[in-house]
Structure 1
C-alpha cells in the first residue's frame, strides 16, 4: 500500500501504469525508478482461506535527499564495517542481530564458529552468539558464550583493550536480565573503567556502558543514580551519533523508566514517545525494541488511569513480540502480565487472572527461581485474589512474592514496600488490624527512604495506616 499523495510530493520519478497493466482496471500499479527508497511503516497478514503467505506492506516513499536518513544510513554502514569487518556471512549475521532477528543470527554464527580459523574469530563469534542468546531470552547460553569469548580475549589482548570492555558489558547485560543486579553492576563498571582508558571521551561505547549502569540502578531503586547515568549516556550520544540512531532511543527509554518509577508520569510519557518516534524511523516494524516502547507507553497510561489507551498499547506490543520472539521469551511474559494489570484495573478479574497465569508459566520456564519478575507475577495474582475476596489465596501469593523480593532486591527497594503494603491490606480485610498496621509501617519506612516525598505510594500507605488505626 503506497500513499499517492506522498508520491506527488516526491522528487523520485514514477509512473502510473494501471491502464497498461495485464490486469487492466483491476490493479492500481505504480512503477518507480530503480534505487527508490521506502520506509516500511507496517506489515500485516492478509487473511485468506487458501494460504497464509499473503501480507500487506504499508510503505512511505523517502527521497534520496533526506539528510537525516542519509546520515543514519552512513553511520549504520560504518558501524557494520567496524563491528563485522569480514564481508559476507559475518556481516549478514551482525545485521540480523541489529534488526532484531537473533534466531537467524544464531544459526549463522554457529556455522561461522565451526569454521573459525583464529582466536579473534572465535572470540568475536562467541561474543555475538552471547548477544543472540540474550535477545532470545536464553540467558545461561548467553552467559556461557560471553564467558568463552572473554577467556580468549584475556589471553590474546592487552588488559585495557576495548574488546574486553565489550565482553564485560555483554556479561553485565545477561546478569541484569537474570535479576542478579550486583553482578551486573560490577560487570558494567569494569567495562566502563576500560573504555574510559581506551576510548575518546565521546565514543558511543562509553554511552553504552553508562546506559547499562543506568538500567541496573533503576532496577535497584536508586533512581537519582540511574537518571544521572542515562543523562551521561544521552549527552555522549547526541554528540557522537545521528539524531535518529536507535541508541538514542534506548537512552530516552531509560530516562522514561526512571521518571515513571519516580511517579512523574507526564515526563515519563514524553521520554517514551521520543524513544518510540526514533525507533519507528530507524528500526523494522516488528523489531522487539518497538514492542518495548509500546509496552512502556502502556504502563504510563495504565498508571494515569487511561485503561483503554494502555490496553491498546500493550496489545500492539504483544502483537510484535509474538512475531519477533520465541514463544517462551520473558518479554512475552511481561506483555501478558501488563495486559493482566489493565484487566484487573477494569474489574475483569477472570481475564486478569488468566493473563497473569500465562505470564507466570513463561517466567517459571525461562527465569531463575528468585528473579524479581516471578515475584511480580505472584504479587499480581495475589492482588486479583484479594479483590475477589479470596484472602487466603491472596496471602499465599503475596508471601511468595515477598520471599523472592527479600532474596533478590536491596533492603530498601520500593517493591519490597509494595509487598508489605499488600500483605497488610489482606490482614486489614480479615480484621487482623495489629498485623496490618505492622506491615503498613514497614512499607511506609521503605517508601520514605526510597521514593520522592510527593510520590503517590507514600500518601497511599499513609491513608492505610490512618484507616487501620481508626479501626483499632
Structure 2
C-alpha cells in the first residue's frame, strides 16, 4: 500500500523580499502562489520562470530575490516529480542565500528543508537527515521553539525517520509540530493538516487504526476547506484514508476514495505524474485482494510505465 506524506514547504510563503513598491517580479510571484495553491503546477512553473527571468534581468547576480525565484521554481518541479531539474536550482539558491544573508538565515533553513526533501525522495537518507537537522537548528535559533517554521522542520525530519521505520524518533517530533501549529495557526490551517497527516501515517504503519482514522478525516476536512475539493493535497488525503480502510479489509469504503483520488490527480497533475502512479497502484492492489485481477492488471501496467518514465 502506497501512502503519501505531505511536506511543509515554506518557499512560496516565507520570502517576501525587502520592503518596496510592487514590481513585475512581485506580480509574477503572486501568480505563482495562486496557481500553486490551486494545484496548477504547469501554470505555476511558467509564472515562476517569468519571475526568475525578471529577477535576473533587474538585479545583481547574488541578490536574494533571485534565490527566492530559484527556490520557487525548484519546488514546483519537485511537485511535478521532476527532481533532477529541481536539485541544481536549490543548490544555487542555497549558495546565494548563504552569501547574501548569512549561513544561519531563515531563508537558508527553508532551502535546506527543500533540498533535504529531494534527497529523501531519492533515498539518500543520510544526506537528508544532516540537512533537516541543520535547518531545525537554524529555525530554533532564529525564531524560538514555538514558531511555524520550527514546526515545518520538525515535521520534515519526522517524515525522514518514518521513511526509515524509526517510529519512536518520529512521533514526538510530529506531536510537537502539531502543538505549535494549533497554537500559532488555529485548527484549520493547511500546515496543521500536513503534520496531522503524517502523524496519522505513523499510526497507520503501526496498525493503530483507531488513532489514525480521525486524524485522516480531519486532514481531509482541513485540506478541502483550504484548497477546494479538487486539489492534489485533497487527493493525497483521500488516498491515505482509502489505504486505512483497505488495510482493515473495508474494501467498499476504500474503492471510491481511491478512484476519486486518481481522478483528481489526473486532472490537476496530468496523467504521467508519480501521484497518479500511486493511486493506480493502490487501486490495483485493492482489486487483486478482492479477486478482480482483470481490473488490476491494466492499472498496474500503467503505473509501472509512469514509474519507469520518471526515474
Whether these two folds match at TM > 0.5 is: yes
Give the alignment partner of residue 176 of structure 1, picking from 16, 36, 49: 36
Instruction: State how far apart, in whole Å, the 2-side matches of 1:352 and 1:438 are.
Output: 31
Structure that is richer in helix per residue: 2
SS in 1 for 2:55: helix
Aligned length: 297
Question: What do the CA deviations read for 1:175-232 (whole angstroms, capped 9, x no partner)?
Answer: 2233221222122111111111111111111001000001100001000111121111
Provide the rounded CA distance (Å) in 2 between the counterparts of 1:190 and 1:297: 32
Mapping of 1:94-173 within 5 angstroms? 124=21, 163-173=23-33
Report what 1:358 is aligned to: 218
1:292 corresponding residue in structure 2? 152
Equivalence map 1:20-419=2 (5 Å): 83-84=18-19, 124=21, 163-419=23-279
**Alpha-carbon shift at residue 273 of structure 1 (Å):** 1.4
SS at match of 1:202: coil
Higher strand share: 1
Q: Which runs of 5+ in 1 are unaligned?
A: 1-78, 86-123, 125-152, 154-162, 452-472
Q: Deviations over 1:227-264 (max 9, x none)?
A: 12111111212221211111111111110111122232
RMSD: 1.8
Asked whether the 8 Å contact 2:232–2:265 carries over to 1, the reply is yes
TM-score, length of structure 1 as denominator length = 0.61
CA contact (8 A) 2:200 2:213 kept: yes
* Separation of aligned partners in 1, 2:149 and 2:27: 22
Counterparts of 2:111 and 2:94 in 1: how far apart (Å)?
Answer: 6
Distance 1:185 1:326 in 2: 30
Larger Rg: 1
Which ranges of structure 2 fall in alignment gaps of 5 or more residues? 1-14
Q: 1:177 to 1:274 in 2, by over 3 A?
A: farther
2: CA distance, partners of 1:285 / 1:319: 11
Residue aligning to 1:435: 295
Matches of 2:71 and 2:111, distance apart in 1 = 7
Alignment partners' CA distance in 1, 2:270 and 2:123: 20
